[in-house]
Structure 1
Amino acid sequence: MTTMLIVEDELKTGTYLKQGLLEAGYDVTLVNDGRQGLEHILRQHYDLIILDVMLPSMDGWDILQQMRMARHEEPVLFLTARDNVSEKIKGLDLGADDYLLKPFDFAELLARIRTLLRRNRTQTSGTHRIADLVMDVTRRSVSRSGKKIHLSAKEFVLLELLLQQTGEVLPRSLLSSLVWNINFESDTNVIDVAVRRLRSKVDDDFTPKLIHTVRGIGYVLEIREE
């Protein structure tokens, strides 16, 4: 079943959207807070995300920017009451796929959703590979040399971020924000402890080693010559 996430703080609008999309045959999750919406996006895959612009704790622009930085390419439809050309351009430049003004006709919303879903079906599958490590995002499974690796939800998100940006150094500040939803200065040890646990599962019993520390900055996932 096609899955959707709605991030909308107006209770009446959110409830109306969810009910209508459920009746249209979609599997719908509704959250009312921006930061919670980003956590849902980074934790699991959705076929489509519907974002309001003005949200508590984190606005739609920031959510979109953070998810695209984390290489989450799910289609995003913005809903907003702001009829402003510059804001539409901003959303599209950040990686939005469509933009619909409130109030809107529900039939038009459904037509736009069907168009975005058809477009998204042509994209690649949610599988990441490096060396003998394979992550299937859709099935939430990880294996190495054919051996299944059991990860916690946070470890899965952490590994997915590293895989999505293979060869790029991810600063601790970015990891703490995207995976743990904490301010980097508040607790640096949690990142290092989590990476050590992930390494013990992904690297300790295998070669080559894939997760590397970049002293003073963060971590990178890549194949290095021994």
Structure 2
Amino acid sequence: MPNILIVDDDPDILELIRFYLHRDGFKVSNACNGLEAMDVAEKTKVDLAIIDVMMPHMDGWELCHHLREDYPEMPILMVTAKGETNHKIKGFNLGADDYLVKPFDPLELVARVKLLLKRYKIHNAMKLQIGNVLLDKHRYEAVIDNAQFSLPLREFDLLFKLASFPGQIFTRNDLIEQVWGADFAGDDRTVDVHIKRIRDRFAELNSAFMIETKRGLGYKLEVME
């Protein structure tokens, strides 16, 4: 069940949004200003933030900026009484994903929340974290300690497949069919060659995973503690 963080200094708005989100089955956390919201985000897993712009202590602009830096995969919906185009542009430039102007229809807000969560779910399905390594299928890149490097297509797909099911053993035939395709004309030694290349690439990068050979069976990936 997704947890939605509502940030607004108006208790009536907080209660209105909370009611409609609860009715649709969402968990809700709330904060009255940006500083309180940052504290909630540090202590609770937040799947989406709904942020008012005009608040004391830390306004919505600054909060949006901090959340986008600290939680780059979190969808952000900004809510404000200001409907001018320049305010919308400012919000988008700071990292907001959507913008709703008061007064708003609560049903529209819930619909936008669902759409953002669906969009981010699709987006995140293309990314995979294994230990300290992030695999980004959008770019066919691996990221370790903020350093990015590209992998050849087959090596990336092979690593992504193994990493999607840590601890699971894949036979060479499994990997040939799922990575190269059933019509692949080569032999299963191709898998061994690509596994060796992957191991060599990550050997000096302090990556927190290893690909184990299970003699007579195939390969599996394990994430190291």
> 1:130 maps to which residue?
132
Superposition pairs for residues 148-159 of structure 1, below 5 Å? none
- Output the CA distance in 1 between the equivalents of 2:111 and 2:83: 20
Whether the 8 Å contact between 2:50 and 2:79 is mirrored in structure 1 is: yes
Following superposition, the deviation at residue 3 of structure 1 comes to 0.9
Deviations, residues 60-112 of structure 1 (Å, cap 9, x unaligned): 11111112222432000000000111010010111101000000011111211
Superposition pairs for residues 51-130 of structure 1, below 5 Å? 51-122=51-122, 123-124=124-125, 127=129, 129-130=131-132
- Output the CA distance in 1 between the equivalents of 2:70 and 2:33: 19
- Output the CA distance in 2 between the equivalents of 1:81 and 1:67: 21
AA of the residue aligned to 1:48: L
> 1:4 maps to which residue?
4
Task: Verify: 1:44 aligned to 2:44, yes or no.
Answer: yes
Following superposition, the deviation at residue 15 of structure 1 comes to 1.1
- Output the CA distance in 1 between the equivalents of 2:114 and 2:60: 22
- Output the CA distance in 2 between the equivalents of 1:26 and 1:110: 10
Whether the 8 Å contact between 2:5 and 2:50 is mirrored in structure 1 is: yes
Superposition pairs for residues 5-44 of structure 1, below 5 Å? 5-44=5-44
- Output the CA distance in 2 between the equivalents of 1:164 and 1:50: 31
Deviations, residues 129-155 of structure 1 (Å, cap 9, x unaligned): 337xx9xxxxxxxxxxxxxxxxxxxxx
Please give the secondary structure, in 1, of the residue aligned with 2:103: coil
- Output the CA distance in 2 between the equivalents of 1:47 and 1:10: 22
Structure number with bigger Rg: 2
Aligned length: 142
Following superposition, the deviation at residue 126 of structure 1 comes to 7.5
Superposition pairs for residues 142-181 of structure 1, below 5 Å? 166=146
Deviations, residues 14-45 of structure 1 (Å, cap 9, x unaligned): 11111221111100011112101022223433
CA 86–128 in structure 1, closer or farther in 2 if over 3 Å, else same: farther
- Output the CA distance in 2 between the equivalents of 1:164 and 1:93: 27
CA 58–20 in structure 1, closer or farther in 2 if over 3 Å, else same: same
Whether the 8 Å contact between 1:78 and 1:96 is mirrored in structure 2 is: yes
Q: TM-score, normalised by structure 1?
A: 0.56
Deviations, residues 140-192 of structure 1 (Å, cap 9, x unaligned): xxxxxxxxxxxxxxxxxxxxxxx99646xxxxxxxxxxxxxxxxxxxxxxxxx
Following superposition, the deviation at residue 128 of structure 1 comes to 5.8
Please give the secondary structure, in 2, of the residue aligned with 1:6: strand
RMSD of aligned residue pairs (Cα, Å): 2.8
